[in-house]
Chains A and B, each alone.
Chain A
Amino acid sequence: MPLLEVDDLEAAFLFADRTVRAVNGVSFAVEAGEIVGLIGESGSGKSVTVQSILRLLPSPGRIVRGAIRLNGVNLLDLSREQMRQVRGRRIAMVVQDALAALNPVIPIGEQIADVFLAHTRVKRQTAWEKAVGMLRRVGISAAEERARHYAHEFSGGMQQRTVIAAALACTPELIIADEPTTALDVTVQQQILALLQQARSELGSAILYISHDLAVVTHLCDRILIMYAGEIVEQGPTRTLFRSPKHPYTQGLLASIPSLHGDVQEYLPAIPGLPPNAAALPTGCRFAARCSFVQERCRSHHPELVSVDSHHAVRCILYEATTP
């Protein structure tokens, strides 16, 4: 049984005048201790997928269909209180904008201590000491003193470390990291990625790593899911995906990563156009309008996700034909 199993998830925002179908029939699994990358551009539905897993969709978002199973238990069936005990203890979150995620008027240490107080039977003083320990563990020097500081007194990297410390507090089985390095400069990015890898090796936590940047996740992830317009268009082990990307979208993404080897290209190829409007999705392939291999049938036929290899699946008409 996988640790996390997202099964045919459909999430939508039901506005009065229109319905935005943000996530359409997404299915994937994360095994215990595995690091999975969920890649997609802004608006592809990756963040909504994550918010659905934690059942924290902002209004008027709704999970319309599907199941989200953690060790076989459907999270959608849990009571509010049961779900609260899952958040932060079994599934922890690391967010992109750490400064905005930290309460500006409560000391850093207390915000980590709050996690211990919410999930374990400890006294305030013990929770505080444990929080200081967590700060030390994520590499914040003079943690004792730093714990009394406020978020705005921390650098961007330290803010992100704080958020990771809060996430690791209760040794979660799954860490969801939603673009945790996007706001940071490159050296700090590497430190944060190293911290996450350390969490996996030391705590055995699985990580679902959300990003729009393929280059960042290559070394981190075991497996990669490519999302486009609310559905998964390709998934496979990181190496396979990089060596032989199947979907024209994945190929386009890989081509747009600047290379350190070989000739310097004068122009970096980009995928032309914009993703479709989630309130008015096309009937056929959702990538058709931007695809350079587009065929007549792509406009009317919506392709299924088909296996091209044992762990490699793609949603494209080009590969549908080859399978019986």
Chain B
Amino acid sequence: MLRYTLYRLLLFVPLLWGLSVVVFVYIHLIPGDPVQAMVGSSASQEFVAQLREEFGLNRPLLVQYVDWISGLPAGDLGITFRSRQPIAPLLLARIPATLELALAGLLIALLVGLPSGILAGLFKNSPFDHLFSIVSLAGYSMPLFWLGTLLMVWLGVNWKVLPSQGYVPFTQDPLKNLQYLVLPAFSLGLGLGPYIGRMARAAVIEALQEQYVNYAHAKGLRMRTVVNRYVLRNAMISLLVVFGLNIGFLLSGQIVIEELFNWPGAGRLIVRAVLERDYFMIQASVLIYASIFLAINLLVELLHAYLDPRVQLK
């Protein structure tokens, strides 16, 4: 187990490096000149040349890459194009809000999706399962921004039960913080919940078809034992793996919800960067988000190895 963990962590390093190459090349593969694109076509040639000089974009690509990547380990993500502020502190300041929303949304999604999906799977083809299939399909098909807008319009604007725009730091006013959290967290959670629910249902149905479940019944085990130790134990492991592969849904959904509810997280920063065509900012945020994606997957893999004795270093 320890060897496996070390091996996985070691493998993570080249993975991150590869990621940095892809992100860097991707930005420079965009047709046309990044500076030209950033300042617009009306800018004079001298101005563009001056900016290229200032940001070092006239140097060979390899030099630029080495310059960029050598700053990364120290946490230097470069500076923004517009305000010329260092990017790292900007992103870092957004992390608490982003993390709070992500965790709250995930918690709600799990609370909604897991029990209903598991029940639907255990009682396949029952009226509850049919109801679950309809509701989850509807929820699953509903774009996040629309679900968020509906909640915002009903609860925030029409009935004015909850604030729908903005954020108050927890340290400043815990109660207010939670009030502001409710709508975006539920939008994210209710959007993600059906997704998790359907994955849970599929995992449970798959486990139910296994011979060891049938054999557990043949041993005369109590229903409770069969469900907990034989069905769910296995279903949750496969659910964990599927969930890890689909974590992108949570990350991208979060960006949409942050923008919609004016939630000052890292996601809004990316949207801003894209709208302002701030290539350095985009480059840095894409790198961070992709790293988070990889890190979560690493975590899932380690957890998988811990829970499933069959996973071992070959």
Interface residues of A (CB under 8 A from B): 54, 56, 58, 84-89, 92-93, 95, 97, 100-106, 114-115, 117-119, 150, 152-153, 163, 166
Contact = CB atoms under 8 A, between A and B. Distances in A.
B220 A101 contact: no
Nearest to B222: A118
B220 A118 contact: yes
Interface string B275-314: 0000000000000000000000000000000011110000
B218 A88 contact: yes
Given A103-B230, A115-B220, A118-B221, A95 B309 contact: no
Interface in B216-234: 216-223, 225, 229-230, 233-234
Contacts of A101: 211-212, 214-215
Given A103-B212, A105-B308, A88 B229 contact: no
B206 interface: no
Given A101-B211, A105-B309, A56 B234 contact: no
Contact of A114 (B219, B234, B237): B219
Nearest to A93: B218
A97 B210 CA distance: 12
Nearest to A95: B215
A115 B216 CA distance: 9
B219 A104 contact: no
B219 A115 contact: yes
A58 B214 CA distance: 9
Contacts of A103: 212, 216, 229-230, 233-234
A118 B229 contact: no
Interface residues of B, number: 23
Contacts of B310: 104-105, 150, 152
Nearest to B223: A84
Contacts of A54: 218
A105 B233 CA distance: 8
Tell me which of B221, B234, B307 has the highest count of chain A C-beta atoms within 10 A of its own C-beta: B221
Contact of B211 (A88, A100, A153): A100
Interface of B: 210-212, 214-223, 225, 229-230, 233-234, 237, 307-310
A44 to B, nearest CB: 20
A153 B216 CA distance: 20
Contact of A87 (B219, B223, B230, B309): B219
A124 to B, nearest CB: 12
23 contacts: A84-B223, A85-B220, A87-B217, A88-B220, A93-B215, A100-B210, A100-B212, A101-B212, A103-B216, A103-B233, A103-B234, A104-B234, A104-B309, A104-B310, A105-B233, A105-B234, A106-B229, A115-B219, A117-B225, A118-B219, A118-B222, A150-B310, A152-B310
B221 A114 contact: yes
A117 B220 CA distance: 10
A93 B307 contact: no
Nearest to A90: B220
The 3 closest A-B pairs by CB, nearest first: A88-B220, A87-B220, A101-B215
Given A100-B210, A114-B229, A152-B310, A89 B220 contact: yes
Tell me which of A92, A105, A152 has the highest count of chain B C-beta atoms within 10 A of its own C-beta: A105
A303 to B, nearest CB: 34
A92 B220 CA distance: 9
Contacts of A152: 309-310
A86 B237 contact: no
Tell me which of B215, B216, B220, B225 has the highest count of chain A C-beta atoms within 10 A of its own C-beta: B220
Contacts of B309: 104-105, 150, 152-153
A104 B235 CA distance: 12
Given A84-B220, A101-B211, A105-B234, 9 more contacts: A93-B218, A95-B211, A104-B308, A105-B310, A114-B225, A117-B225, A119-B220, A152-B309, A152-B310
Contact of A84 (B212, B222, B230, B307): B222
B10 to A, nearest CB: 26
A149 to B, nearest CB: 9
